[in-house]
Amino acid sequence: MPAAVVLAGTVTIEGAFPHAVRRLREACPRIDWRQGRAAAGAAITLAADPAMKEGAFRVETGEGMTVKVTGGGIPGVIYAVEDMIARGGADPARLAVSPRDETPGMLYRTFWTWDHSTNWELSQVGLQEIGVFNPYGKPPGGFLADYKRLIDFCSRNRVAAITIYGFLRDSHGGIEAAQELCRYATERGVRIMPGIAIGAYGGVYWEGDHKYNLATWLKQNPQFAATMEKGVGFQLADLSFPLNFPRSDYTVSACPSAPETIEWMEEAVSWLAETFDIGGINIESGDYGVCGCDRCVARRQNAAEAARRKDDHGDSWSHTDMAENFPKLYRAAKAKKPDLWVYCEMQWDNLLDPVASAAQTRLPQGGVYQHTANKSFWRKLRTALTRDYVEKLPTQPNVLRCQFACQWNGDERTERYAFNAKTFADMAGVGARDAMDGLTVWGEASAWHAAVELSYIAFARFTWEPTLTWERFMAEEMAPRLGGGEAAERFVAIAEEIDQNQRLPVERLAAFRREALSRAGDAGSDAARRWLTLGEQIARREYMGA
């Protein structure tokens, strides 16, 4: 087996991967890193291999302190360098490198976000935690400040992509800010995926006086507005309080049967793909109601789909609309950037009883088909789903999306700041077992909160290695971050008890708070911060009396 090498002194780096080079310089500042082609001496060669799965990497060592890094695209090279840094120790003057070969178990590892409730830069006004039609309340620079922190986390932890609804708003920088964000993300190996909906959600340009903003377009072309079957909105069965859908320009919809609507959307998607260095697009049919005009009703002569909108599912979207129009937007995007990940949202809780099955056979191979599960449906899905069933679906490839372990389910606290690590581990393991190619979870809350951070780490680890055991995860990830194995077990036990009980005796909370703060005082700086955030969460509840 090739031996480990130790890089020290002067080391030459060959390969045009600026962020990988930056990370090596940051990790070992006392090594004399020089870029170029090495004739002799210590050297690292960085290269991408298009034949490798995106994100996969191989690290090889040779004689004379030489290292060859080969990655599946920019992400693979960066993951390799991050792995070398993590395993090579914290010595600023030397870097120990051992051979390594890794491939992601799930290719599509995605965080889902809305711009207004993505809070990673906590030192600014305007934080929001829920909502779909929200104005942007932060300073204009808040968009880049939040998402650059999120991108840094994804790059270091092998999270492949970030879906952003509200990608384009005049109020947070418009085109220029979005272009800067894409540049920053691409350099760090993270795909930015704007979220859009067919004839809804503001169009491609979510908010602003722009020709690809839906409200702007409909004011100029009112004849193409949708005739909604019912009022805008829906309710989630797994959420204990009613959702609010205030009427505004955000809630307008265009008729998806009007050829002019889809021609405008195709043109807008082409512009989006050629104007920004995006890594993909997340496309929905819109989920707050459907058009009831004669053309739309005639096209949706589908008993199963109609029944789901009338029964306890309360569906507020149309699979037939999506199947008719997604292929057009898919082709428009791929024509500009063939390597885009183009997600097709299959909506909620219907993976086991597909709607509009005949229409779905027309969906293009190569789209990424995202099946969303609320909490109650996941309980059913995790045992009823099989590999054989998934492999026979007309849509390929398929990914799961977790519409819980976030603000969209639970009691008034929701699960946005809960310890969701076991949920993510479970979904990754079951999904991989049953031939799902990815998992999407909400990534809006900052990793400053320890329960959130550790849940994200679990998402990253278990989607990369779905066969990972919980015991290994605790030993390899939780224990080093919390002050040891016993400390990690206590953190999980405390976090789970406070999550599972909306009300607890104040005396119990006080005991937990004292323990968390005591462990913060005994731990190192990073572990102390994690215990302090748990202690603050408990102290807040103690102060409120429950």
* 3-class SS of residue 26: helix
pLDDT at 311: 66
Confidence tier at 312 by pLDDT (50, 70, 90): low
pLDDT at 314: 65
CA of 244: how far to CAs of 87, 166, 235, 509, in Å? 48, 18, 9, 32
φ/ψ of 111, rounded to 5, equals -95, 135
Residue 74 burial (C-beta neighbours within 10 Å; 0-12, 13-18, 19+): buried
| 287-291, 304-308, 445-449 — most confident range | 445-449
| Contacts of 541-546 spanning 24+ positions with Cβ under 8 A | 541/498, 541/504, 541/509, 542/506, 542/509, 542/510, 542/513, 545/506, 546/502, 546/503, 546/504, 546/506, 546/509
Q: How far apart are CA 430 and CA 193, in angstroms?
A: 25
Cis status of the peptide bond prior to 259, with omega within 30 of 0:
no
pLDDT at 3: 82
pLDDT at 232 over 90: no
What pLDDT digit, counting tens, does each position of 466-488 carry?
A: 999 999 999 999 999 999 999 99
Q: How far apart are CA 33 and CA 12, in angstroms?
A: 6
Alpha helices in 276-318 (DSSP H): 294-299, 303-310
Position 1: which residue type? Answer: M
Among 197, 213, 225, residue whose Cα is nearest residue 287: 197
The continuous run of DSSP H or E covering 32 comes out as: strand 32-35
Q: How far apart are CA 474 and CA 492, in angstroms?
A: 10
């459907």: which residue's tokens?
A: 290
**What is the largest distance, in Å, between two alpha-carbon atoms of the chain?**
75
pLDDT at 117: 96
Confidence tier at 90 by pLDDT (50, 70, 90): confident
Confidence tier at 95 by pLDDT (50, 70, 90): very high
Question: Is the CA virtual torsion 422, 425, 431, 433 positive or negative?
Answer: negative
Among 267, 266, 258, residue whose Cα is nearest residue 294: 258
The continuous run of DSSP H or E covering 73 comes out as: helix 73-87
What pLDDT digit, counting tens, does each position of 284-303 carry?
A: 987 777 888 999 888 887 77
pLDDT at 2: 63
pLDDT at 356: 67
The continuous run of DSSP H or E covering 282 comes out as: strand 280-284
pLDDT at 234: 65
Least confident of 2-11, 68-77, 333-342, 376-385: 2-11
* 3-class SS of residue 209: coil
Q: Do 378 and 404 touch, CB atoms closer than 8 A?
A: yes
Terminal-to-terminal C-alpha distance of the chain: 58
Q: Which residues pair with 511 in a beta bridge?
A: none
């993505």: which residue's tokens?
A: 118
Q: Do 430 and 385 touch, CB atoms closer than 8 A?
A: yes
pLDDT at 460 over 70: yes
Position 158: which residue type? Answer: R
The CA radius of gyration of the chain, in Å to the nearest whole number, is: 24
What pLDDT digit, counting tens, does each position of 169-225 carry?
A: 999 999 999 999 999 999 999 999 999 999 888 999 999 999 999 999 999 999 999
What pLDDT digit, counting tens, does each position of 237-273 carry?
A: 777 777 666 677 788 999 999 999 999 999 999 999 9
The continuous run of DSSP H or E covering 280 comes out as: strand 280-284
In the chain, what are the domains?
5-102 (3.30.379.10), 108-468 (3.20.20.80), 477-544 (no CATH)
Q: How far apart are CA 293 and CA 296, in angstroms?
A: 5
Higher pLDDT, 236 or 340: 340
Confidence tier at 166 by pLDDT (50, 70, 90): very high
Least confident of 68-72, 109-113, 195-199, 433-437: 195-199
Least confident of 51-65, 128-142, 229-243, 453-467: 229-243
The dihedral over CA atoms of 329, 330, 335, 341, expressed in degrees to the nearest 10, equals 130
Tell me what percent of the chain is helix, strand and coil, each rounded to the nearest 5.
Answer: 45, 20, 40
Q: Do 438 and 280 touch, CB atoms closer than 8 A?
A: no
């512009």: which residue's tokens?
A: 271
Among 369, 178, 160, residue whose Cα is nearest residue 279: 160
Q: How far apart are CA 254 and CA 290, in angstroms?
A: 10
Confidence tier at 148 by pLDDT (50, 70, 90): very high
Q: What percent of the chain has pLDDT over 70?
A: 97
**400 contact partners, CB below 8 Å, separation of at least 6:** 370, 371, 372, 373, 427, 431, 436, 438, 439, 440
pLDDT at 1 over 70: no
Count other Cβ atoms within 10 Å, centred on residue 521.
9
Q: How far apart are CA 484 and CA 466, in angstroms?
A: 24
The dihedral over CA atoms of 71, 74, 80, 83, expressed in degrees to the nearest 10, equals -150
Alpha helices in 141-224 (DSSP H): 142-157, 174-187, 214-220
Beta strands 66-71 and 43-48: pairing type?
parallel
Look over the chain and give the mean of its residue pLDDT values, rounded to a whole number. Answer: 93
Average pLDDT over residues 80-99: 93
